[in-house]
């Protein structure tokens, strides 16, 4: 609906890729609906994935012994995080919906996107015990993981070699997004695009565009272990 803000965090090196096309379609479709869409193109930005001392501007809270989590929390409170982290936090803060678009690497997200999670979702900003899971600091936001796989749909079935695809969504959707209070929409998965026909790839893009048309009517998944492991 008009006025909704969307942040697409996108991790692929090649604009001509299927991931690039999926990202483009999301921008076009959501913009058409009157949403304002921002893209963090991590490779193009040369986003720094490493969590280091450089993420804190100025002096440390405890210079004797470096504790990244504790230092980031203190730096967040006093407004002295590095500018690239602050920039991404602003985008997250403003967004009603976060879409993560990426190719699956080793049952997970690419390092550059994991680094985004590590550096941006700081304590005090995204969570602050006991304010996590349903009371996480980013509640009232939605997230959607849209990704491509190397393996086929059959390989990611429950009794199959890779196990149920939902198992590997647990750390990403539950351990990161739900932990920060974000509600999660069903993932959008394009299985094995490299091994299908050009025609089937086109169908994948059409299916994504169709889904986006009614995305705001969708209910989040049930945020419990049952959804992943039943």
Q: Mean pLDDT over all residues of the chain? A: 97
Q: Sign of dihedral through CA atoms 48, 54, 55, 58?
A: negative
What domain range includes position 123? 5-229
Q: How far apart are CA 195 and CA 201, in angstroms?
A: 10
Q: Could you give the number of structural domains in the chain?
A: 1
128-153 b/e (C-beta count within 10 Å ≥ 16 → b): eeebbeeebbbeebbbbbbbbbebee
Residue 112 forms beta bridges with which residues?
A: none
CB neighbours (10 Å) of residue 121? Answer: 23
Three-state SS at 134: helix
* Residue found by looking up tokens 């959707």 in the block: 173
Model pLDDT for residues 50-108, shown as the tens digit of each residue: 999 999 999 999 999 999 999 999 999 999 999 999 999 999 999 999 999 999 999 99
> Helical H runs in the chain?
18-32, 68-77, 83-94, 111-120, 165-169, 198-213, 225-229
| Residue 230 pLDDT grade (very low, low, confident, very high; cuts 50, 70, 90) | confident
pLDDT of residue 143: 98
Model pLDDT for residues 130-158, shown as the tens digit of each residue: 999 999 999 999 999 999 999 999 999 99
Tokens of 208: 């994504």
CATH code for the domain of 50: 3.40.50.360
Yes or no: say if 26 and 37 are a contact pair by the CB < 8 Å rule: yes
Mean pLDDT throughout 12-18?
97
Angle at 181 (CA atoms; ends 175, 186), nearest 5 degrees: 70
Please tell me the pTM assigned to this model. 0.97
CB neighbours (10 Å) of residue 68? Answer: 15
Residue 56 forms beta bridges with which residues?
A: 81
| Residue 170 pLDDT grade (very low, low, confident, very high; cuts 50, 70, 90) | very high
pLDDT of residue 70: 97
């Amino acid at each position: 609906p008009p006025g909704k803000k969307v942040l697409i965090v996108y991790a692929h090196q090649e604009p001509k890729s299927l991931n690039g096309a999926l990202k483009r379609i999301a921008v076009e479709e959501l913009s058409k609906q009157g949403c304002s869409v921002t893209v963090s193109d991590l490779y193009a930005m040369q986003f720094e994935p490493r969590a280091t001392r450089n993420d804190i501007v100025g002096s440390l809270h405890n210079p004797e012994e470096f504790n990244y989590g504790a230092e980031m929390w203190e730096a967040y409170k006093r407004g002295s995080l590095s500018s690239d982290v602050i920039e991404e936090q602003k985008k997250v803060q403003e967004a009603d919906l976060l879409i993560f678009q990426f190719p699956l690497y080793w049952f997970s997200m690419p390092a550059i996107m994991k680094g985004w999670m590590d550096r941006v979702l700081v304590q005090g900003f995204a969570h602050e015990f006991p304010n996590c899971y349903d009371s996480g600091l980013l509640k009232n936001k939605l997230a959607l993981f849209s990704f491509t796989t190397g393996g086929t749909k059959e390989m990611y079935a429950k009794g199959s070699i890779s196990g149920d695809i939902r198992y590997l969504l647990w750390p990403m959707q539950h351990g990161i997004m739900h932990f920060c209070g974000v509600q999660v929409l069903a993932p959008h998965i394009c299985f094995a695009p490299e091994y299908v026909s050009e025609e089937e790839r086109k169908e994948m893009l059409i299916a994504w565009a169709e889904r986006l048309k009614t995305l705001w009517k969708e209910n989040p998944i049930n945020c419990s272990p049952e959804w992943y492991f039943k």
